[in-house]
Structure 1
Amino acid sequence: MKDRLAELTASKTQTEEEVAAAVDCGDGFMDGYFRRVEEVRGLIDKISHQVEEVRKMHSMILSAPNPTDGTKDQLSALTSNIKGNANVVRAKLKCELCCHVSTCLQHTVLSRKFVEVMTQYNETQVSFRERSKGRIQRQLEITGRVTTNEELEDMLESGNPSIFTSDIISDSQITRQALSEIESRHQDIMRLESSIRELHAMFMDMAMLVETQGDMVNNIENNVSNAAEYICRAKEETKKAVRYQKKSRRKYIILAFVLLILLAVIALIVGLSVGLTKRPV
Protein backbone atom coordinates (compact mmCIF):
# COMPACT_ATOMS: atom_id res chain seq x y z
CA MET A 1 0.00 0.00 0.00
CA LYS A 2 2.92 2.36 0.77
CA ASP A 3 4.41 1.71 -2.66
CA ARG A 4 1.07 2.47 -4.29
CA LEU A 5 0.71 5.64 -2.25
CA ALA A 6 4.22 6.76 -3.25
CA GLU A 7 3.38 6.12 -6.91
CA LEU A 8 0.23 8.19 -6.73
CA THR A 9 2.02 11.02 -4.93
CA ALA A 10 4.83 11.07 -7.50
CA SER A 11 2.30 11.05 -10.34
CA LYS A 12 0.49 13.97 -8.73
CA THR A 13 3.73 15.99 -8.64
CA GLN A 14 4.36 15.18 -12.30
CA THR A 15 0.90 16.27 -13.42
CA GLU A 16 1.17 19.54 -11.52
CA GLU A 17 4.43 20.29 -13.33
CA GLU A 18 2.74 19.52 -16.64
CA VAL A 19 0.07 22.17 -16.07
CA ALA A 20 2.60 24.96 -16.58
CA ALA A 21 3.84 23.40 -19.81
CA ALA A 22 0.32 22.73 -21.06
CA VAL A 23 -0.43 26.40 -21.71
CA ASP A 24 2.38 26.85 -24.24
CA CYS A 25 0.65 26.95 -27.62
CA GLY A 26 3.70 27.68 -29.74
CA ASP A 27 4.08 27.43 -33.53
CA GLY A 28 4.42 24.46 -35.82
CA PHE A 29 0.94 23.37 -34.88
CA MET A 30 0.24 20.80 -37.56
CA ASP A 31 3.45 18.84 -36.91
CA GLY A 32 2.58 18.17 -33.28
CA TYR A 33 -1.20 18.38 -33.32
CA PHE A 34 -1.98 14.66 -33.53
CA ARG A 35 0.64 13.92 -30.89
CA ARG A 36 -1.07 16.36 -28.52
CA VAL A 37 -4.45 14.85 -29.33
CA GLU A 38 -3.18 11.41 -28.35
CA GLU A 39 -1.65 12.80 -25.17
CA VAL A 40 -4.96 14.34 -24.13
CA ARG A 41 -6.87 11.19 -25.05
CA GLY A 42 -4.41 9.11 -23.04
CA LEU A 43 -4.83 11.35 -19.99
CA ILE A 44 -8.62 11.16 -20.25
CA ASP A 45 -8.41 7.35 -20.43
CA LYS A 46 -6.11 7.40 -17.40
CA ILE A 47 -8.62 9.49 -15.45
CA SER A 48 -11.35 7.04 -16.42
CA HIS A 49 -9.34 4.14 -14.97
CA GLN A 50 -8.61 6.15 -11.83
CA VAL A 51 -12.30 6.89 -11.37
CA GLU A 52 -12.93 3.14 -11.44
CA GLU A 53 -10.26 2.71 -8.75
CA VAL A 54 -11.96 5.39 -6.65
CA ARG A 55 -15.27 3.58 -7.00
CA LYS A 56 -13.69 0.34 -5.74
CA MET A 57 -12.03 2.11 -2.82
CA HIS A 58 -15.33 3.72 -1.86
CA SER A 59 -16.88 0.26 -1.64
CA MET A 60 -13.98 -0.92 0.53
CA ILE A 61 -14.34 2.02 2.91
CA LEU A 62 -18.10 1.67 3.17
CA SER A 63 -17.89 -2.05 3.87
CA ALA A 64 -15.46 -1.56 6.77
CA PRO A 65 -16.81 -0.24 10.12
CA ASN A 66 -13.56 1.68 10.74
CA PRO A 67 -11.42 1.98 7.60
CA THR A 68 -7.69 2.24 8.18
CA ASP A 69 -5.85 5.54 7.80
CA GLY A 70 -3.73 3.92 5.06
CA THR A 71 -6.80 3.24 2.94
CA LYS A 72 -8.04 6.79 3.39
CA ASP A 73 -4.62 8.22 2.56
CA GLN A 74 -4.49 6.15 -0.60
CA LEU A 75 -7.95 7.41 -1.59
CA SER A 76 -6.86 10.98 -0.86
CA ALA A 77 -3.74 10.57 -3.03
CA LEU A 78 -5.80 9.04 -5.85
CA THR A 79 -8.29 11.91 -5.66
CA SER A 80 -5.46 14.46 -5.82
CA ASN A 81 -3.99 12.60 -8.79
CA ILE A 82 -7.30 12.78 -10.65
CA LYS A 83 -7.50 16.48 -9.90
CA GLY A 84 -3.98 17.03 -11.26
CA ASN A 85 -4.64 15.08 -14.46
CA ALA A 86 -7.95 16.87 -14.94
CA ASN A 87 -6.25 20.26 -14.63
CA VAL A 88 -3.68 19.24 -17.24
CA VAL A 89 -6.41 18.10 -19.66
CA ARG A 90 -8.42 21.27 -19.12
CA ALA A 91 -5.35 23.47 -19.68
CA LYS A 92 -4.43 21.62 -22.89
CA LEU A 93 -7.99 21.79 -24.23
CA LYS A 94 -8.28 25.51 -23.52
CA CYS A 95 -4.89 26.11 -25.14
CA GLU A 96 -5.84 24.26 -28.33
CA LEU A 97 -9.10 26.19 -28.59
CA CYS A 98 -7.38 29.55 -28.19
CA CYS A 99 -4.60 28.82 -30.66
CA HIS A 100 -6.27 26.78 -33.40
CA VAL A 101 -9.96 27.32 -33.99
CA SER A 102 -9.78 25.31 -37.23
CA THR A 103 -9.46 22.08 -35.23
CA CYS A 104 -12.59 22.66 -33.16
CA LEU A 105 -14.34 19.49 -34.37
CA GLN A 106 -11.63 17.15 -33.03
CA HIS A 107 -11.30 19.42 -30.02
CA THR A 108 -15.01 19.15 -29.27
CA VAL A 109 -14.86 15.34 -29.35
CA LEU A 110 -12.08 15.36 -26.73
CA SER A 111 -13.82 17.99 -24.61
CA ARG A 112 -17.07 16.05 -24.53
CA LYS A 113 -15.24 12.85 -23.67
CA PHE A 114 -13.48 14.66 -20.83
CA VAL A 115 -16.76 16.07 -19.52
CA GLU A 116 -18.32 12.60 -19.71
CA VAL A 117 -15.50 11.05 -17.64
CA MET A 118 -15.59 13.86 -15.08
CA THR A 119 -19.37 13.51 -14.86
CA GLN A 120 -18.89 9.84 -13.96
CA TYR A 121 -16.36 10.91 -11.33
CA ASN A 122 -18.80 13.44 -9.89
CA GLU A 123 -21.56 10.80 -9.78
CA THR A 124 -19.15 8.47 -7.95
CA GLN A 125 -18.37 11.18 -5.38
CA VAL A 126 -22.04 12.04 -4.84
CA SER A 127 -22.95 8.35 -4.50
CA PHE A 128 -20.25 7.88 -1.86
CA ARG A 129 -21.55 10.89 0.04
CA GLU A 130 -25.11 9.60 0.03
CA ARG A 131 -24.06 6.10 1.11
CA SER A 132 -21.86 7.53 3.87
CA LYS A 133 -24.74 9.69 5.03
CA GLY A 134 -26.94 6.59 5.13
CA ARG A 135 -24.36 4.83 7.33
CA ILE A 136 -24.33 7.79 9.71
CA GLN A 137 -28.11 7.74 9.91
CA ARG A 138 -28.14 4.01 10.70
CA GLN A 139 -25.46 4.40 13.37
CA LEU A 140 -27.46 7.20 14.98
CA GLU A 141 -30.46 4.89 15.05
CA ILE A 142 -28.32 2.28 16.84
CA THR A 143 -27.59 4.82 19.57
CA GLY A 144 -31.30 5.56 19.87
CA ARG A 145 -31.21 8.86 18.00
CA VAL A 146 -33.61 9.02 15.04
CA THR A 147 -32.96 11.86 12.57
CA THR A 148 -34.65 13.04 9.42
CA ASN A 149 -32.77 13.60 6.19
CA GLU A 150 -33.06 17.37 6.65
CA GLU A 151 -31.63 17.20 10.17
CA LEU A 152 -28.76 15.08 8.95
CA GLU A 153 -27.98 17.57 6.19
CA ASP A 154 -27.93 20.36 8.79
CA MET A 155 -25.40 18.39 10.80
CA LEU A 156 -23.20 17.84 7.75
CA GLU A 157 -23.37 21.49 6.74
CA SER A 158 -22.49 22.64 10.25
CA GLY A 159 -19.41 20.40 10.27
CA ASN A 160 -20.15 19.43 13.87
CA PRO A 161 -21.49 15.92 14.48
CA SER A 162 -21.77 16.59 18.22
CA ILE A 163 -25.09 18.33 17.49
CA PHE A 164 -26.67 14.88 17.60
CA THR A 165 -24.10 12.88 19.56
CA SER A 166 -23.33 15.11 22.56
CA ASP A 167 -26.27 13.84 24.58
CA ILE A 168 -25.75 10.17 23.71
CA ILE A 169 -24.44 8.12 26.61
CA SER A 170 -21.74 5.73 25.40
CA ASP A 171 -22.40 3.13 28.05
CA SER A 172 -21.93 0.12 25.81
CA GLN A 173 -19.43 -1.20 23.30
CA ILE A 174 -22.03 -1.06 20.51
CA THR A 175 -22.78 2.59 21.24
CA ARG A 176 -19.08 3.52 21.34
CA GLN A 177 -18.47 1.79 18.00
CA ALA A 178 -21.47 3.58 16.50
CA LEU A 179 -20.21 6.96 17.70
CA SER A 180 -16.75 6.21 16.35
CA GLU A 181 -18.15 5.34 12.94
CA ILE A 182 -20.36 8.42 12.92
CA GLU A 183 -17.31 10.60 13.49
CA SER A 184 -15.29 8.71 10.86
CA ARG A 185 -18.02 8.92 8.19
CA HIS A 186 -18.56 12.58 8.96
CA GLN A 187 -14.86 13.30 8.36
CA ASP A 188 -15.04 11.40 5.07
CA ILE A 189 -17.95 13.54 3.93
CA MET A 190 -16.20 16.77 4.97
CA ARG A 191 -13.19 15.86 2.85
CA LEU A 192 -15.49 14.93 0.00
CA GLU A 193 -17.37 18.23 0.07
CA SER A 194 -14.24 20.15 -0.95
CA SER A 195 -13.64 17.82 -3.89
CA ILE A 196 -17.25 18.15 -5.06
CA ARG A 197 -17.03 21.95 -4.94
CA GLU A 198 -13.84 21.90 -7.03
CA LEU A 199 -15.50 19.58 -9.54
CA HIS A 200 -18.45 21.94 -9.80
CA ALA A 201 -16.16 24.86 -10.66
CA MET A 202 -14.42 22.72 -13.28
CA PHE A 203 -17.77 21.66 -14.76
CA MET A 204 -18.86 25.26 -15.15
CA ASP A 205 -15.60 26.10 -16.93
CA MET A 206 -15.78 23.09 -19.26
CA ALA A 207 -19.49 23.62 -19.92
CA MET A 208 -18.74 27.10 -21.26
CA LEU A 209 -15.87 25.67 -23.32
CA VAL A 210 -18.02 22.93 -24.87
CA GLU A 211 -20.85 25.39 -25.53
CA THR A 212 -18.45 27.71 -27.36
CA GLN A 213 -17.12 24.79 -29.40
CA GLY A 214 -20.66 23.70 -30.17
CA ASP A 215 -21.38 27.11 -31.70
CA MET A 216 -18.21 26.84 -33.79
CA VAL A 217 -19.11 23.35 -35.01
CA ASN A 218 -22.64 24.48 -35.83
CA ASN A 219 -21.24 27.40 -37.83
CA ILE A 220 -18.94 25.06 -39.73
CA GLU A 221 -21.80 22.64 -40.41
CA ASN A 222 -24.00 25.51 -41.57
CA ASN A 223 -21.28 26.80 -43.86
CA VAL A 224 -20.72 23.33 -45.31
CA SER A 225 -24.45 22.87 -45.77
CA ASN A 226 -24.80 26.27 -47.43
CA ALA A 227 -21.85 25.51 -49.69
CA ALA A 228 -23.39 22.18 -50.68
CA GLU A 229 -26.70 23.86 -51.44
CA TYR A 230 -24.90 26.51 -53.47
CA ILE A 231 -23.05 23.84 -55.45
CA CYS A 232 -26.32 22.02 -56.15
CA ARG A 233 -27.95 25.24 -57.31
CA ALA A 234 -24.92 26.05 -59.44
CA LYS A 235 -25.13 22.64 -61.09
CA GLU A 236 -28.80 23.14 -61.86
CA GLU A 237 -28.16 26.61 -63.26
CA THR A 238 -25.32 25.21 -65.37
CA LYS A 239 -27.57 22.49 -66.75
CA LYS A 240 -30.21 25.10 -67.56
CA ALA A 241 -27.62 27.28 -69.26
CA VAL A 242 -26.42 24.34 -71.34
CA ARG A 243 -30.00 23.54 -72.33
CA TYR A 244 -30.66 27.18 -73.20
CA GLN A 245 -27.42 27.31 -75.18
CA LYS A 246 -28.38 24.19 -77.13
CA LYS A 247 -31.84 25.60 -77.82
CA SER A 248 -30.34 28.92 -78.91
CA ARG A 249 -27.88 27.18 -81.24
CA ARG A 250 -30.73 25.16 -82.74
CA LYS A 251 -32.74 28.34 -83.23
CA TYR A 252 -29.80 30.04 -84.97
CA ILE A 253 -29.40 27.05 -87.31
CA ILE A 254 -33.10 27.02 -88.16
CA LEU A 255 -33.09 30.79 -88.68
CA ALA A 256 -30.04 30.57 -90.94
CA PHE A 257 -31.67 27.76 -92.94
CA VAL A 258 -34.86 29.81 -93.33
CA LEU A 259 -32.83 32.79 -94.46
CA LEU A 260 -31.01 30.66 -97.02
CA ILE A 261 -34.31 29.35 -98.36
CA LEU A 262 -35.69 32.89 -98.44
CA LEU A 263 -32.60 34.16 -100.32
CA ALA A 264 -32.87 31.27 -102.76
CA VAL A 265 -36.54 32.08 -103.43
CA ILE A 266 -35.72 35.75 -103.90
CA ALA A 267 -32.85 34.86 -106.25
CA LEU A 268 -35.16 32.58 -108.22
CA ILE A 269 -37.82 35.25 -108.54
CA VAL A 270 -35.26 37.83 -109.61
CA GLY A 271 -33.80 35.40 -112.15
CA LEU A 272 -37.15 34.62 -113.64
CA SER A 273 -38.02 38.32 -113.83
CA VAL A 274 -34.80 39.13 -115.65
CA GLY A 275 -35.35 36.23 -118.03
CA LEU A 276 -38.83 37.41 -118.96
CA THR A 277 -37.68 40.95 -119.64
CA LYS A 278 -35.00 39.76 -122.12
CA ARG A 279 -37.37 37.49 -124.19
CA PRO A 280 -37.59 38.77 -127.91
CA VAL A 281 -40.80 40.30 -129.17
Structure 2
Amino acid sequence: MKDRLAQLKEKSDAGGDDIEVPVESEAFMDDFFAQIEDIRSSIDKIDESVTEIKKLYSTILSAPTSDQKTQDDVEALTNEIKKSANNARNKLKSIERQLESNADERASADLRIRKSQHAILAKKFVEVMTKYNEAQVDFRDKSKGRIARQLEITGKTTTDEELDEMLEGGNSAVFTAGIMDSKINQQALNEIEARHKDIMRLESSIKELHDMFVDIAMLVENQKQMMIFCCCVILAVVLGSFVYSFIK
Protein backbone atom coordinates (compact mmCIF):
# COMPACT_ATOMS: atom_id res chain seq x y z
CA MET A 1 0.00 0.00 0.00
CA LYS A 2 2.91 2.36 0.77
CA ASP A 3 4.29 1.69 -2.69
CA ARG A 4 0.95 2.76 -4.14
CA LEU A 5 1.03 5.97 -2.12
CA ALA A 6 4.58 6.62 -3.25
CA GLN A 7 3.56 6.16 -6.90
CA LEU A 8 0.81 8.72 -6.56
CA LYS A 9 3.21 11.16 -4.89
CA GLU A 10 5.73 10.67 -7.72
CA LYS A 11 3.04 11.40 -10.31
CA SER A 12 2.17 14.59 -8.50
CA ASP A 13 5.85 15.61 -8.33
CA ALA A 14 6.27 14.87 -12.02
CA GLY A 15 3.35 17.20 -12.73
CA GLY A 16 5.12 20.02 -10.95
CA ASP A 17 3.00 20.05 -7.79
CA ASP A 18 4.85 20.40 -4.51
CA ILE A 19 3.01 17.69 -2.57
CA GLU A 20 4.19 16.08 0.64
CA VAL A 21 2.34 13.39 2.57
CA PRO A 22 3.21 13.43 6.29
CA VAL A 23 4.56 10.16 7.68
CA GLU A 24 1.80 10.00 10.30
CA SER A 25 -0.84 9.98 7.54
CA GLU A 26 0.60 6.94 5.76
CA ALA A 27 -1.11 4.42 8.06
CA PHE A 28 -4.43 6.11 7.37
CA MET A 29 -3.75 6.09 3.63
CA ASP A 30 -2.78 2.40 3.77
CA ASP A 31 -6.20 1.66 5.21
CA PHE A 32 -7.82 3.85 2.56
CA PHE A 33 -6.10 2.03 -0.30
CA ALA A 34 -7.13 -1.31 1.21
CA GLN A 35 -10.74 -0.11 0.98
CA ILE A 36 -10.17 1.09 -2.58
CA GLU A 37 -8.79 -2.29 -3.67
CA ASP A 38 -11.74 -4.06 -2.03
CA ILE A 39 -14.20 -1.82 -3.88
CA ARG A 40 -12.33 -2.31 -7.15
CA SER A 41 -12.43 -6.08 -6.65
CA SER A 42 -16.19 -6.00 -6.04
CA ILE A 43 -16.79 -3.93 -9.17
CA ASP A 44 -14.64 -6.29 -11.26
CA LYS A 45 -16.63 -9.26 -9.92
CA ILE A 46 -19.88 -7.55 -10.89
CA ASP A 47 -18.55 -6.88 -14.39
CA GLU A 48 -17.54 -10.52 -14.83
CA SER A 49 -20.89 -11.75 -13.48
CA VAL A 50 -22.82 -9.46 -15.83
CA THR A 51 -20.93 -10.90 -18.80
CA GLU A 52 -21.81 -14.43 -17.66
CA ILE A 53 -25.45 -13.66 -16.92
CA LYS A 54 -25.90 -12.12 -20.37
CA LYS A 55 -24.76 -15.43 -21.87
CA LEU A 56 -27.30 -17.28 -19.73
CA TYR A 57 -30.05 -14.88 -20.80
CA SER A 58 -29.20 -15.68 -24.44
CA THR A 59 -29.32 -19.41 -23.66
CA ILE A 60 -32.75 -19.07 -22.05
CA LEU A 61 -34.13 -17.04 -24.95
CA SER A 62 -32.85 -19.50 -27.55
CA ALA A 63 -34.55 -22.53 -25.93
CA PRO A 64 -38.31 -23.33 -25.82
CA THR A 65 -38.03 -23.81 -22.06
CA SER A 66 -35.09 -23.13 -19.78
CA ASP A 67 -33.66 -26.04 -17.78
CA GLN A 68 -33.38 -25.87 -14.00
CA LYS A 69 -29.58 -25.70 -14.03
CA THR A 70 -29.63 -22.57 -16.15
CA GLN A 71 -32.17 -20.99 -13.83
CA ASP A 72 -30.05 -21.93 -10.81
CA ASP A 73 -26.97 -20.41 -12.46
CA VAL A 74 -28.86 -17.18 -13.16
CA GLU A 75 -30.06 -17.01 -9.55
CA ALA A 76 -26.54 -17.66 -8.21
CA LEU A 77 -25.05 -14.91 -10.38
CA THR A 78 -27.86 -12.52 -9.45
CA ASN A 79 -27.16 -13.10 -5.76
CA GLU A 80 -23.42 -12.66 -6.31
CA ILE A 81 -24.01 -9.36 -8.10
CA LYS A 82 -26.23 -8.14 -5.26
CA LYS A 83 -23.61 -9.10 -2.68
CA SER A 84 -20.75 -7.39 -4.52
CA ALA A 85 -22.88 -4.33 -5.33
CA ASN A 86 -23.90 -3.89 -1.70
CA ASN A 87 -20.28 -4.16 -0.59
CA ALA A 88 -19.10 -1.60 -3.15
CA ARG A 89 -21.93 0.81 -2.41
CA ASN A 90 -21.50 0.67 1.37
CA LYS A 91 -17.76 1.26 1.18
CA LEU A 92 -18.13 4.08 -1.33
CA LYS A 93 -20.67 5.79 0.91
CA SER A 94 -18.41 5.27 3.93
CA ILE A 95 -15.54 6.98 2.11
CA GLU A 96 -17.89 9.78 1.04
CA ARG A 97 -18.83 10.41 4.67
CA GLN A 98 -15.14 10.51 5.61
CA LEU A 99 -14.47 13.04 2.85
CA GLU A 100 -17.32 15.24 4.03
CA SER A 101 -16.04 15.13 7.62
CA ASN A 102 -12.60 16.27 6.42
CA ALA A 103 -13.91 19.40 4.70
CA ASP A 104 -11.35 21.54 6.54
CA GLU A 105 -8.50 19.63 4.85
CA ARG A 106 -9.44 20.43 1.24
CA ALA A 107 -5.95 21.57 0.35
CA SER A 108 -4.13 18.47 1.69
CA ALA A 109 -2.48 16.09 -0.75
CA ASP A 110 -3.91 12.87 0.69
CA LEU A 111 -7.45 14.28 0.64
CA ARG A 112 -7.12 15.15 -3.04
CA ILE A 113 -5.89 11.62 -3.71
CA ARG A 114 -8.83 10.13 -1.80
CA LYS A 115 -11.35 12.30 -3.64
CA SER A 116 -9.87 11.34 -6.99
CA GLN A 117 -9.88 7.59 -6.25
CA HIS A 118 -13.40 7.77 -4.84
CA ALA A 119 -14.73 9.64 -7.88
CA ILE A 120 -13.13 7.18 -10.31
CA LEU A 121 -14.57 4.11 -8.59
CA ALA A 122 -18.01 5.65 -8.04
CA LYS A 123 -18.22 6.40 -11.77
CA LYS A 124 -17.03 2.89 -12.66
CA PHE A 125 -19.61 1.39 -10.29
CA VAL A 126 -22.44 3.33 -11.93
CA GLU A 127 -21.23 2.24 -15.37
CA VAL A 128 -21.17 -1.47 -14.51
CA MET A 129 -24.55 -1.33 -12.75
CA THR A 130 -26.01 0.47 -15.77
CA LYS A 131 -24.67 -2.34 -17.94
CA TYR A 132 -26.37 -4.89 -15.67
CA ASN A 133 -29.67 -2.99 -15.67
CA GLU A 134 -29.62 -2.76 -19.46
CA ALA A 135 -29.05 -6.53 -19.71
CA GLN A 136 -31.99 -7.18 -17.39
CA VAL A 137 -34.35 -4.85 -19.25
CA ASP A 138 -33.31 -6.31 -22.62
CA PHE A 139 -33.97 -9.85 -21.37
CA ARG A 140 -37.33 -8.83 -19.92
CA ASP A 141 -38.44 -7.15 -23.14
CA LYS A 142 -37.36 -10.09 -25.29
CA SER A 143 -39.14 -12.52 -22.97
CA LYS A 144 -42.33 -10.47 -23.26
CA GLY A 145 -41.88 -10.50 -27.02
CA ARG A 146 -41.69 -14.30 -26.99
CA ILE A 147 -44.92 -14.51 -25.01
CA ALA A 148 -46.66 -12.10 -27.39
CA ARG A 149 -45.57 -14.18 -30.40
CA GLN A 150 -46.78 -17.43 -28.82
CA LEU A 151 -50.13 -15.85 -28.05
CA GLU A 152 -50.34 -14.51 -31.58
CA ILE A 153 -49.73 -17.99 -32.98
CA THR A 154 -52.72 -19.26 -31.02
CA GLY A 155 -54.87 -16.46 -32.40
CA LYS A 156 -54.89 -14.46 -29.16
CA THR A 157 -53.54 -11.04 -30.12
CA THR A 158 -52.73 -8.69 -27.25
CA THR A 159 -51.58 -5.10 -27.04
CA ASP A 160 -48.53 -4.17 -24.96
CA GLU A 161 -50.83 -2.73 -22.30
CA GLU A 162 -52.93 -5.91 -22.16
CA LEU A 163 -49.82 -8.09 -21.94
CA ASP A 164 -48.39 -5.95 -19.14
CA GLU A 165 -51.67 -6.22 -17.25
CA MET A 166 -51.64 -10.01 -17.62
CA LEU A 167 -48.02 -10.23 -16.46
CA GLU A 168 -48.41 -7.93 -13.47
CA GLY A 169 -50.48 -10.51 -11.62
CA GLY A 170 -47.33 -12.28 -10.49
CA ASN A 171 -49.02 -15.69 -10.38
CA SER A 172 -48.19 -18.08 -13.23
CA ALA A 173 -51.29 -20.21 -12.65
CA VAL A 174 -53.58 -17.19 -12.83
CA PHE A 175 -51.69 -15.92 -15.88
CA THR A 176 -51.99 -19.18 -17.81
CA ALA A 177 -55.61 -19.59 -16.74
CA GLY A 178 -56.33 -16.35 -18.57
CA ILE A 179 -55.21 -17.86 -21.88
CA MET A 180 -56.49 -21.43 -21.46
CA ASP A 181 -59.55 -20.63 -23.52
CA SER A 182 -57.29 -20.12 -26.54
CA LYS A 183 -56.45 -22.95 -28.92
CA ILE A 184 -52.96 -23.51 -27.57
CA ASN A 185 -50.90 -26.69 -27.39
CA GLN A 186 -49.07 -27.82 -24.28
CA GLN A 187 -45.60 -26.92 -25.59
CA ALA A 188 -46.63 -23.34 -26.31
CA LEU A 189 -48.34 -23.13 -22.93
CA ASN A 190 -45.20 -24.39 -21.19
CA GLU A 191 -43.06 -21.79 -22.94
CA ILE A 192 -45.45 -18.97 -22.08
CA GLU A 193 -45.51 -20.07 -18.45
CA ALA A 194 -41.71 -20.36 -18.34
CA ARG A 195 -41.28 -16.87 -19.83
CA HIS A 196 -43.76 -15.48 -17.34
CA LYS A 197 -41.78 -16.94 -14.42
CA ASP A 198 -38.57 -15.51 -15.88
CA ILE A 199 -40.14 -12.06 -16.06
CA MET A 200 -41.47 -12.24 -12.49
CA ARG A 201 -38.04 -13.19 -11.13
CA LEU A 202 -36.44 -10.42 -13.15
CA GLU A 203 -38.91 -7.75 -12.05
CA SER A 204 -38.15 -8.58 -8.43
CA SER A 205 -34.41 -8.25 -9.03
CA ILE A 206 -34.81 -4.96 -10.92
CA LYS A 207 -36.85 -3.47 -8.08
CA GLU A 208 -34.32 -4.57 -5.45
CA LEU A 209 -31.45 -2.95 -7.32
CA HIS A 210 -33.31 0.23 -8.27
CA ASP A 211 -32.85 2.03 -4.94
CA MET A 212 -29.19 1.02 -4.84
CA PHE A 213 -28.65 2.34 -8.35
CA VAL A 214 -30.34 5.67 -7.58
CA ASP A 215 -28.36 5.94 -4.33
CA ILE A 216 -24.98 5.50 -5.98
CA ALA A 217 -25.93 7.73 -8.93
CA MET A 218 -26.66 10.51 -6.41
CA LEU A 219 -23.30 9.81 -4.80
CA VAL A 220 -21.55 10.45 -8.13
CA GLU A 221 -23.56 13.64 -8.63
CA ASN A 222 -22.60 14.83 -5.13
CA GLN A 223 -18.97 14.05 -5.94
CA LYS A 224 -19.17 16.25 -9.04
CA GLN A 225 -20.63 19.09 -7.00
CA MET A 226 -17.90 18.67 -4.38
CA MET A 227 -15.18 18.82 -7.04
CA ILE A 228 -16.73 21.95 -8.57
CA PHE A 229 -16.86 23.56 -5.13
CA CYS A 230 -13.22 22.68 -4.44
CA CYS A 231 -12.18 24.16 -7.79
CA CYS A 232 -14.07 27.35 -6.91
CA VAL A 233 -12.32 27.52 -3.52
CA ILE A 234 -8.89 27.05 -5.11
CA LEU A 235 -9.70 29.65 -7.77
CA ALA A 236 -10.85 32.09 -5.09
CA VAL A 237 -7.62 31.57 -3.13
CA VAL A 238 -5.49 32.11 -6.24
CA LEU A 239 -7.40 35.24 -7.25
CA GLY A 240 -7.30 36.51 -3.68
CA SER A 241 -3.53 36.06 -3.52
CA PHE A 242 -3.12 37.79 -6.86
CA VAL A 243 -5.28 40.76 -5.85
CA TYR A 244 -3.49 41.01 -2.49
CA SER A 245 -0.05 41.00 -4.11
CA PHE A 246 -1.20 43.59 -6.65
CA ILE A 247 -2.60 45.92 -3.98
CA LYS A 248 0.49 45.44 -1.83
| Length-normalised TM-score, structure 2 | 0.78
C-alpha contact (below 8 Å) 1:61/1:67 kept by paired residues? yes
SS in 2 for 1:223: helix
Matching residue of 2:45:
46
C-alpha contact (below 8 Å) 2:126/2:216 kept by paired residues? yes
1:168 aligns with 2:182: yes
What's the CA shift for 1:49?
1.4
Superposed, 1:79-158 pairs within 5 Å as: 79-101=78-100, 102=111, 103-158=114-169
Aligned-residue CA RMSD (Å): 1.9
What's the CA shift for 1:41?
1.4
1:190 aligns with 2:190: no
C-alpha contact (below 8 Å) 1:125/1:196 kept by paired residues? yes
Q: CA separation in 2, counterparts of 1:216 and 1:30?
A: 21
Matching residue of 1:270:
none
Matching residue of 2:232:
222
Equivalenced residue count is 208
Q: CA separation in 2, counterparts of 1:100 and 1:28?
A: 17
SS in 2 for 1:166: coil
C-alpha contact (below 8 Å) 1:155/1:163 kept by paired residues? no
What's the CA shift for 1:234?
4.4
Point out the structure with max Rg over C-alpha: 1
Task: State, as a whole percentage, how many aligned pairs show the same letter.
Answer: 49
Q: CA separation in 2, counterparts of 1:79 and 1:214?
A: 30
- In the alignment, residue 167 of structure 1 is paired with which amino acid? D
Superposed, 1:197-236 pairs within 5 Å as: 197-235=207-245
Question: Any gaps of 5 or more consecutive residues in structure 2?
Answer: 1-25, 101-110
What's the CA shift for 1:119?
0.8
Matching residue of 2:36:
37
What's the CA shift for 1:207?
2.5
- In the alignment, residue 90 of structure 1 is paired with which amino acid? R
- In the alignment, residue 181 of structure 2 is paired with which amino acid? D
Matching residue of 1:67:
66
- In the alignment, residue 35 of structure 2 is paired with which amino acid? R
Question: Any gaps of 5 or more consecutive residues in structure 1?
Answer: 1-26, 242-281
- In the alignment, residue 108 of structure 1 is paired with which amino acid? A
Q: CA separation in 2, counterparts of 1:109 and 1:42?
A: 14
- In the alignment, residue 84 of structure 2 is paired with which amino acid? N
C-alpha contact (below 8 Å) 2:155/2:183 kept by paired residues? no
Superposed, 1:18-37 pairs within 5 Å as: 28-37=27-36
Q: CA separation in 2, counterparts of 1:222 and 1:105?
A: 17
